[in-house]
Structure 1
Amino acid sequence: MLVCTAARPRAAWGTVCALLLAGTVALTGCQKSGGSGPTASGRIDGTAPAASRTAGFGAVFLAVDECSSRGRETFTEVPCTSERAAARVVARHDGEVKEGPKCPARTDFVLHISESRPAGDEDGDGEVPQGYACMRNLEPPHPGDPGRGGGPRTLVGDCVYGAGRGQVRETACDGSGKRDPEYRITRAVAKRALCPPATQLYVSLGGERPVGCAVRL
């Protein structure tokens, strides 16, 4: 959860940034190609889905620059030249999302992968370490782009609305989302003192410039 604080005396806010794109493109995996390949199964909700590898297909399941087909319950690794390919892996990390490196800025959704292999693995225990893949759709829409209302990261150009209980959530800046935008993040800085005088909300973004300066729309 990202913590937000009003720049002027008002209730403190917190913000929750979904790891996956909600709605029609939520957890849309790369999809291209027919033929056999590993299948990743998982939930499609507001958290990173768990995906399991059921067949061998290269040294790493969904490695960087590989693609996956789209599915509500399954994500299948397929050639990026296939008609079924829907998204491409832009970054791949071992471990859990909350403990590992952040996905690139314009990631559309994150796929949490739990791999297993019955034979041929490095230490012979039949398991491959868990990890996660940062995915970007091959074609629009790109919810991870600034102002589009989705993606795993909150960026300069994104908009948020008050969600109650001291929280704000991201929404599309053009009003096409389920909720109208109330604030737009205009700048990311190292500390609050560097925000413009017009700033009305401070949003915790993390990284080298962890403070987001937001203004009311």
Structure 2
Amino acid sequence: MRRYRLPGVLCVCVLLLASLAACQRGEPRAAGTAASENPLTPTGYGLTFLGVNECSARGSEHREVPCTSEKAAARVLARYDGTPPDTSPCPPTTDFVLHISERRPSLDENGDGAVPRGYACMRNLEPPHPGDPGMGGGPHTIVGDCVYSSRKGEVKETACDGSGPKAPQFKVASAVATRSQCPPSTALYVQLGGEKPVGCARRV
């Protein structure tokens, strides 16, 4: 317990259950303020299994580790319970989606020994970033990505620089709300997502 002396007022501030009770003339501070002010700050290793801004290690198990650890490989951009819908709600530049099976680690959200099934939108701490435009990966196809025709009526993403297993045939030049808004030079319409679900692709 520390004592802080203010002009004319003696306050005693007590740290209780990770909440800082403000003195009479101090400003209240919301829990998690530090993490919201700096999105690169881990939100509290162990408080939530792979919560937003926390990091996972390399390997098939994707263990949670402090983001400052040399073992840290990817950061959580968003975290959801349940199973992913057909249209992923992950941020556009997500590198990969980590599916979290129900498990019983030594540390979990509420101490009951269980972590609910869910999924996390992950971004690598270092390159490569397959979710970036033109890199040929990630859960989303976005403006700047390249695709090739895999079969009739279906296209798949590939690296624009030709480094992937398939050469690029089309590049998504813009995203619009309806097909009629694509420019005349459009050679292919690509289903994207979000508020502008139509990708206007040109030949490469």
The TM-score, its normalising length taken from structure 2, stands at: 0.71
Q: Which residue number in structure 1 is paired with residue 136 of structure 2?
A: 149
Separation of aligned partners in 2, 1:176 and 1:120: 41
**Larger RCO (CA under 8 A, 6+ residues apart):** 1
Could you tell me which of 157, 160, 165 is aligned with 2:147?
Answer: 160
Confirm or deny: 8 A CA contact 2:133 2:145 kept in the other structure.
yes
CA distance in 2, matches of 1:109, 1:122: 23
Q: Distance in 2 between matches of 1:80 and 1:195?
A: 42
Give the Cα separation in 2 of the matches to 1:146 and 1:122. Answer: 35
- Decide whether aligned partners of structure 1 residues 124 and 67 sit closer, same or farther in structure 2, where only a CA change above 3 A counts: closer
Residues 129 and 99 (structure 1), Cα distance of their counterparts in 2 relative to 1, 3 Å cut: farther
Structure 2: unaligned runs, 5 residues or longer: 1-44
Check whether the contact 1:184–1:215 (CA below 8 A) recurs between aligned residues.
yes
Q: Structure 1's 203 and 124: CA in aligned 2 closer, same or farther, altered over 3 A? A: same
In 1, distance between residues paired with 2:107 and 2:162?
A: 51
Higher Cα radius of gyration: 2
1:28-79 residue CA offsets vs partner (Å, 9 max, x unmatched): xxxxxxxxxxxxxxxxxxxxxxxxxxxxx723210011111111x2211111
Distance 1:74 1:99, change over 3 A: same
- Given that 1:93 and 1:100 are in contact with CA atoms closer than 8 Å, whether structure 2 keeps it comes out as no
Measured on the aligned residues, the alpha-carbon RMSD in Å equals 2.4
Could you tell me which residue of structure 2 aligns to residue 52 of structure 1?
A: none
Matching residue within 136, 143, 156 for 1:169: 156
2:48 corresponds to which residue?
Answer: 60
Superposed CA deviations along residues 67-112 of structure 1, whole A, max 9, x for unmatched, are 11111x2211111111111111111111111168610011000001
Whether contact under 8 Å (1:161, 1:180) holds in the other structure is yes
Whether contact under 8 Å (1:93, 1:101) holds in the other structure is no
Please tell me whether the aligned partners of residues 46 and 108 of structure 2 are also in contact (alpha carbons under 8 angstroms). Answer: no
Q: Deviation of residue 125 (structure 1)?
A: 8.0
Query: How many equivalent residue pairs?
Result: 160
AA of the residue aligned to 1:131: G
| 2:53 alignment partner AA | D
Give the Cα–Cα distance (whole angstroms) in 2 for the partners of residues 141 and 165 of structure 1: 31
Instruction: Give, as a single letter, the amino acid of the residue that structure 2 aligns with 1:110.
Output: V
Secondary structure of the corresponding residue to residue 62 of structure 1: coil
**1:175 & 1:67 partners in 2: Cα distance?**
31
Q: Read off the aligned partner of 1:68 and give its amino acid letter.
A: S
**Consecutive unaligned residues in structure 1, runs of 5 or more:** 1-56
Q: 1:109 corresponds to which residue?
A: 96
**What is the aligned partner in structure 2 of residue 88 from structure 1?**
75
Following the alignment from structure 2 to structure 1, what is the Cα–Cα distance between the partners of residues 87 and 193? 13
Amino acid at match of 2:188: L
* 2:126 counterpart of 1:139: yes
SS at structure 2 position matched to 1:74: coil
Question: Which residue of the partner structure matches residue 181 of structure 2?
Answer: 194
Q: 1:150 to 1:100 in 2, by over 3 A?
A: closer
Question: What TM-score results when the alignment is normalised by the length of structure 1?
Answer: 0.67
